[in-house]
Chains A and B, each alone.
Chain A
Amino acid sequence: MHLDPFELHEPATVEEALELAGTLSGKFDYLAGGTDLLPNYKMHINLRPHLISLERVSELRGVSSNRIGAMTRLAEVEESPDLSRAYPGVAEAVREVATPLVRASGTVGGNLLLETRCFFFNQTYPWRQSLGFCLKADGDRCHVVPQKERCYATFSGDLAPALAALEAEVEVAGPSGRRRMPVEHLYNAAGDGILRLSLVPGEIVVAIHFPESARRARSAYTKLRVRPSFDFPELGVAAAVWGAAEAPEKVRLAIGGLETYPRRFDEDTDALAGAPLTDARVRTVAEAVTRRVRPVHNTFLPPDYRRRMTEVFVRRTLSRVRAPNGSVAA
């Protein structure tokens, strides 16, 4: 399979990249690790005539205990002992991304901004043409929910929920300067697989920042997928708990792999603060969350199963982190 010709740009600084983005407005994609973009390009999905590679922007590199540069390879995060110790949930999520070979090239920023996925979208041009192009590429209809005029493609990144549960922030650079926001605010919570991000055109994810409090949290990530390698999440549950199991200060849950964006469930988990994290309370939250999620049939496993597994995975993930030693609270 070949790539259609494009012009590659290799800026050395964020500012240069933004300037290029301004000039090439609407005619480019940023290239981070390439493990998501290049397969899509080979399948002739939403091609642009220019690629701006962020590989040579040194500011975007590097991992420390409170910052991960967006162009850090997933494998580098995986191999960072400090980070793994500080944020076990993030370490678990990184280890579960795709395959070791994908993690060698794939980047943190790329995983955060992963294109949403759907059986009817991640296909070659002739395949999509033969069915009739869909909303998300070259067409005007949805093959998953035909009566609707929005896109249901699934957000399939593993890192976003893990970071969101820890209340990490993302630093973004754009034409009008830099800003920071909670990771989950990167995504459009209106639930659209096409208008999936809140970024303005040209904006670059620079880095992830962990608040001081994140180091005090116990965190975990549990991924549902058919195989223990290769596969994107069919459901990914991240949890973080601050404070003692008998009276946690705060509990956070974030879920990916189910809907068009990674979602946090503060309204459910806020009720868990201050009282012992008993099996019954964990189960109540797990059931409440399960009632809210709405997966559709555009991945390998059936949506009803993925929804029902939400309860199990939320319960299991919370149970793993509710106490320092994982034991059951009174």
Chain B
Amino acid sequence: MASEASPYRLLGTRIPYIEGPLKVSGRAEYTDDLTRPNLLVGRLLRSPWPHARLRSIDVSAARKMPGVAAVLTGEKYPTTFGVLPITHDETALAVGKTRYIGDILAAVAASDELSAERALAAIQVDAEVLPEYSDPHVGLGAVAEPIHSRGLNGSNIQKEVHQHFGDVDAAFAEAAHTVRVRGTFAGVTHAFTEPLVTMAEATPDGRLTVWSATQVPHYLHRALSEVLGIPLHRIRVLKPEVGGGFGGKSDPLPHEIVCAALALETGRPVKMLLDREDVFLTNHGRHPTQNDLRVAADAEGHLLAYDLSAVIDGGAWSSFGTVTTYYNGVLAMGPYRVPNFRYHGRRVYTTKPPSGAMRAHGGTNVRYTIETALDELAEKLGMSPFELRMKNALPPNSTTITQFRITSTSFLACLKAARERSGFDEKFRKLPYGRGIGLGCGFYISGSNSPIHFTPKMPQCTVHLKADMDGGIAVHCMQADIGQGSNTLLAAIVAEVLGVQLERVHVVPVDSDVSPVDIGSYSSRVTFMMGNAARQASERLLALLLAAAHELTGYPAKQLRVREERYEVAHRPEVGVSYLEALHKAMEHSGALQASGAYTSPPMGGTHKGARAGTAPAYSFAAYVAEASVDAETGFFAVEKVWAAFDCGRPLNRLAVEGQIEGSIHMGLGQFMGESMNYRGSRLLNPSLLEYKIPTPQQMPEVEVLLVGADDPEGPFGAKEAGEGPLVAILPAVGNALYDAVGVRFYDLPVTPDKVWKGIERRRAEGTPWKGT
């Protein structure tokens, strides 16, 4: 266990969110809570066809309807965009073709919702219906009408990855044991509680202001500039409070651009609030995936090779898909040493809502596939699932065969804590039929090393500080707090370094006019990158304050130490000055103090094609044990308890880290137990929070959080990520617990009760008893 005794005053304690009082009182302002004088309502006409060529869109009648200020169609803004610069294939509104049921065909700005909807109904669309491609396997070969022209060789393949490290065939030839599994995963979606919403206003000074529920204000800023043809400096992006994201607000989204375009058309402010069905159709959730995995091991259980191939259902757009395709392979490279690895990944366009990045992006489905296969392997070997993993754990300061630089890892400590606290050895295969215990492990990037930038040499994050006469410290940074607590962490780091009370630090809401660029809340990068930038900025500001303290005390800065609201001489504590005295002294030279800090990740990774994918300055590790009970007659199961051992380095805000782990377990359980985007063909059947089955409070297990990470050498104050890695381990932990309970492997997610029941029936029919039943 990490020692509770912390060298820090604030960091490492339980720090309630600084904006908590505003949230619990309804005073925190989300985008839909804002308004502007003369505000118009924006609404979207969505495609009723999964795939069609647009012949004409007649908006003349709609334009004449009462209350209608503007009607927009795609041809005005044909510039393509997308979150990755290499795969710009989206347009704000459909141009020429529509590629899924939900694609935006036209948009209306009107005085009120009713007028807007009546105008939408008056729009006439003439289209030639094209073949729909709902099954990614169909799109692997040449198709009659490829969804995008960029599909490879007339197919619908958006991205194909071939990677081979070592010699996989040789490894299998000499293997003592092999396991082969196929994992299939339905698509799941973020289902944040705050719907997607944007407000935009174009003003006579030639500027465009956009407020949006986004995780990536900077990427939105760039997409607006590119598509609307307005220089970046004439666009101002503001991020109000955001009601959850989980990756679903991490692409620049078409409605955001359309809303801004309507503001430009009308010269009036426009707000576009999406209905819940719209949010489901916008999706960008976790990719439906089929993973075929072979694992080779020697007689002692040393892993020899993974041979993995994947078919990934991308939906209508690229989004983060190229990254997904790589991640679904290379995130297999931890937490174990795998000397030989082959991967064939294909992401295929389909005529369905686009898939994208969702919490533990690219790492969740492959992790389930691996961890359940390892459970099978351990059984074949007659070895404890723990022993197998301990034997293969990547050591600290090692390199994977894909050239990932592993610096800190406390994976073994995670295993030890989960094993001991759960009493695993006393329970495994020993609980009565219907009750089981399982282990699942995890590994995730702590910030992608590859910023999605114009020029990769720019820092991934910059933090500005300003301290003025009032003694307050304003913090500017474009990092996006979407509920994960990054504002609080930012303030706490500044307060920690400067030695001031937390209430002195004001995190200024994101505003591209004043916030220096941080590339946003995704890839679990914020704590690591913003934390380092904030630390650097704070240390630079501290240097100014200590220089002033030196002037006042006569002792050199080196001999001064930081105490709460005070800088004093280390060996003569009675000599010192208050923070305010130092601040005001320093201001005699320069006025308000300013300091800036930035973070750029160090060079890393190999030189092969795709070598950057999966590289990160650090990685988190997890070992979860779940205990579950199954009602064998109905297939209903309950996860009773989870022991969640996690290595996030040093947890800087224990309250927030626990919250991330508990929330991740809930979200991961959702994907395991019942969440799925259900389709008939290309049509989403359950675009509602009623029919999309997020687990209820009664389904949430007791969670024991075990934070066992050692300090990371490069993380801020030793910290690594805790926002996404905590999700991946829960799914296989429960899957393996169900196997222990009833002797059935579940490789097709979600594992709804009917599938459990069927599995139990099948095993019964085969006449192979389990635990005597």
Does A touch B (CB under 8 Å) in the complex? yes
A residues with CB within 8 A of B: 1-2, 4-5, 119, 123-124, 126-127, 129-131, 224, 226-231, 300-302, 305, 308-309, 312
A301 and B698 in contact (CB under 8 A), knowing A2-B113, A227-B693?
no
Complex interface: chain A residues within 8 A of B634 (CB): 224, 309, 312
Complex interface: chain A residues within 8 A of B459 (CB): none
B633 in the interface (beta carbon within 8 A):
yes
A230 and B48 in contact (CB under 8 A), knowing A131-B683, A305-B757, A309-B634?
no
State which of A2, A127, A129 has its C-beta within 8 Å of the C-beta of B114: A2
Complex interface: chain A residues within 8 A of B691 (CB): 119, 300
Q: How far is the CA of A230 from the CA of B675 in the complex (A)?
A: 14
B746 in the interface (beta carbon within 8 A):
no
- Which of A2, A127, A231, A308 is most buried by chain B, counting CB atoms within 10 A of its CB? A127
Q: Which B-chain residue is minimally distant from A43 (CB atoms)?
A: B277
B46 touches A4 (CB 8 A): no
Q: Which B-chain residue is minimally distant from A308 (CB atoms)?
A: B757
B505 in the interface (beta carbon within 8 A):
no
Chain A: minimal CB distance from B461 (Å): 39
- Which of A119, A130, A226, A305 is most buried by chain B, counting CB atoms within 10 A of its CB? A226
Q: Which B-chain residue is minimally distant from A3 (CB atoms)?
A: B114
Complex interface residues of chain B between 631 and 646 (CB less than 8 A to chain A):
633-635
Complex interface: chain A residues within 8 A of B277 (CB): 124, 127
**Could you show 25 A-B contacts with beta carbons less than 8 Å apart?**
A2-B114, A4-B114, A5-B114, A119-B686, A124-B275, A127-B277, A130-B683, A226-B693, A226-B752, A226-B753, A227-B693, A227-B695, A227-B699, A228-B699, A229-B696, A229-B697, A230-B696, A300-B686, A300-B693, A301-B753, A305-B753, A305-B754, A305-B757, A305-B758, A309-B757
B151 in the interface (beta carbon within 8 A):
no
A127 touches B693 (CB 8 A): no
B687 in the interface (beta carbon within 8 A):
yes
B690 in the interface (beta carbon within 8 A):
yes
The digit string for B451-477, where 1 denotes a CB below 8 A from any CB of A, is: 000000000000000000000000000
Q: How far is the CA of A131 from the CA of B48 in the complex (A)?
A: 8
State which of A4, A119, A224, A305 has its C-beta within 8 Å of the C-beta of B685: A119
A301 touches B696 (CB 8 A): no
Q: How far is the CA of A305 from the CA of B636 in the complex (A)?
A: 12
A301 touches B699 (CB 8 A): no
Chain B: minimal CB distance from A124 (Å): 6
Q: With A2-B117, A228-B698 given, name 16 new contacts (CB 8 A).
A: A2-B113, A5-B114, A119-B686, A119-B691, A123-B687, A124-B277, A126-B46, A127-B687, A130-B47, A131-B683, A226-B752, A227-B674, A227-B699, A228-B699, A309-B757, A312-B634
B101 in the interface (beta carbon within 8 A):
yes
Q: How far is the CA of A161 from the CA of B526 in the complex (A)?
A: 54
Complex interface: chain B residues within 8 A of A309 (CB): 634, 757
Chain B: minimal CB distance from A18 (Å): 32
Complex interface: chain B residues within 8 A of A231 (CB): 690, 693
- The A/B interface has a contact count, at CB < 8 Å, of 60
Q: Which 6 A-B pairs have the closest CB atoms?
A: A130-B48, A305-B754, A229-B696, A228-B698, A2-B113, A227-B696
B633 touches A312 (CB 8 A): yes
A226 and B674 in contact (CB under 8 A), knowing A1-B275, A131-B683, A301-B752?
yes
Q: How far is the CA of A228 from the CA of B690 in the complex (A)?
A: 13
Q: Which B-chain residue is minimally distant from A298 (CB atoms)?
A: B685
Interface residues of chain B: helix, strand, loop or mixed (majority): loop
A229 touches B698 (CB 8 A): yes
Chain B: minimal CB distance from A122 (Å): 8
B754 touches A302 (CB 8 A): yes
B49 in the interface (beta carbon within 8 A):
yes
Complex interface residues of chain B between 157 and 185 (CB less than 8 A to chain A):
none
Chain B: minimal CB distance from A5 (Å): 8
The digit string for B678-702, where 1 denotes a CB below 8 A from any CB of A, is: 0000010111001101011111000
Q: How far is the CA of A127 from the CA of B752 in the complex (A)?
A: 26
Q: How far is the CA of A229 from the CA of B700 in the complex (A)?
A: 13
A130 touches B101 (CB 8 A): yes
State which of B101, B687, B690, B758 has its C-beta within 8 Å of the C-beta of A230: B690
Complex interface: chain B residues within 8 A of A119 (CB): 685-686, 691
Q: How many residues of B contact A (CB 8 A)?
A: 31
A228 and B46 in contact (CB under 8 A), knowing A305-B754, A305-B757?
no
B residues with CB within 8 A of A: 46-49, 101, 113-114, 117, 275, 277, 633-635, 674, 683, 685-687, 690-691, 693, 695-699, 752-754, 757-758
Q: How far is the CA of A2 from the CA of B115 in the complex (A)?
A: 11
Chain B: minimal CB distance from A103 (Å): 15
Q: How far is the CA of A231 from the CA of B693 in the complex (A)?
A: 9
Q: How far is the CA of A123 from the CA of B690 in the complex (A)?
A: 11
Chain A: minimal CB distance from B674 (Å): 5
Chain B: minimal CB distance from A199 (Å): 27
Complex interface: chain A residues within 8 A of B695 (CB): 227
Complex interface: chain A residues within 8 A of B699 (CB): 227-228
Q: How far is the CA of A3 from the CA of B552 in the complex (A)?
A: 69
Complex interface: chain A residues within 8 A of B275 (CB): 1, 124
Q: Which A-chain residue is minimally distant from B41 (CB atoms)?
A: A2
Q: How far is the CA of A229 from the CA of B695 in the complex (A)?
A: 9
Chain B: minimal CB distance from A219 (Å): 21
Q: How far is the CA of A39 from the CA of B683 in the complex (A)?
A: 21
Chain B: minimal CB distance from A4 (Å): 7
Q: How far is the CA of A127 from the CA of B697 in the complex (A)?
A: 31
Complex interface: chain B residues within 8 A of A308 (CB): 757
Chain B: minimal CB distance from A141 (Å): 14
Q: How far is the CA of A123 from the CA of B687 in the complex (A)?
A: 8
Q: How far is the CA of A226 from the CA of B637 in the complex (A)?
A: 11
Complex interface: chain B residues within 8 A of A126 (CB): 46, 48
Chain A: minimal CB distance from B767 (Å): 20
Chain A: minimal CB distance from B283 (Å): 15
Chain B: minimal CB distance from A279 (Å): 14
Q: Which A-chain residue is minimally distant from B758 (CB atoms)?
A: A305
Complex interface: chain B residues within 8 A of A305 (CB): 635, 753-754, 757-758
Q: How far is the CA of A98 from the CA of B152 in the complex (A)?
A: 48
Chain A: minimal CB distance from B537 (Å): 45
Q: How far is the CA of A45 from the CA of B493 in the complex (A)?
A: 53
Q: How far is the CA of A302 from the CA of B754 in the complex (A)?
A: 8
Q: Which B-chain residue is minimally distant from A42 (CB atoms)?
A: B275
A228 and B752 in contact (CB under 8 A), knowing A119-B685, A126-B46?
no
Q: How far is the CA of A231 from the CA of B752 in the complex (A)?
A: 14
Complex interface: chain B residues within 8 A of A124 (CB): 275, 277
Q: How far is the CA of A4 from the CA of B115 in the complex (A)?
A: 11
Q: How far is the CA of A226 from the CA of B755 in the complex (A)?
A: 12
B754 touches A301 (CB 8 A): yes
Chain A: minimal CB distance from B26 (Å): 18
Chain B: minimal CB distance from A111 (Å): 16
Chain B: minimal CB distance from A101 (Å): 13
Q: How far is the CA of A123 from the CA of B698 in the complex (A)?
A: 28
Q: How far is the CA of A138 from the CA of B117 in the complex (A)?
A: 18
Complex interface: chain B residues within 8 A of A229 (CB): 696-698
Q: Which B-chain residue is minimally distant from A301 (CB atoms)?
A: B754
Complex interface: chain B residues within 8 A of A127 (CB): 277, 687
A130 touches B754 (CB 8 A): no
- Which of B696, B698, B754, B757 is most buried by chain A, counting CB atoms within 10 A of its CB? B754
B696 touches A228 (CB 8 A): yes
Q: Which B-chain residue is minimally distant from A99 (CB atoms)?
A: B696
Q: Which B-chain residue is minimally distant from A132 (CB atoms)?
A: B48
Q: Which B-chain residue is minimally distant from A143 (CB atoms)?
A: B680
Q: How far is the CA of A318 from the CA of B699 in the complex (A)?
A: 26
Q: How far is the CA of A229 from the CA of B634 in the complex (A)?
A: 18
- Which of B47, B686, B696 is most buried by chain A, counting CB atoms within 10 A of its CB? B696
Chain B: minimal CB distance from A309 (Å): 6
A130 touches B674 (CB 8 A): no
Chain B: minimal CB distance from A152 (Å): 15
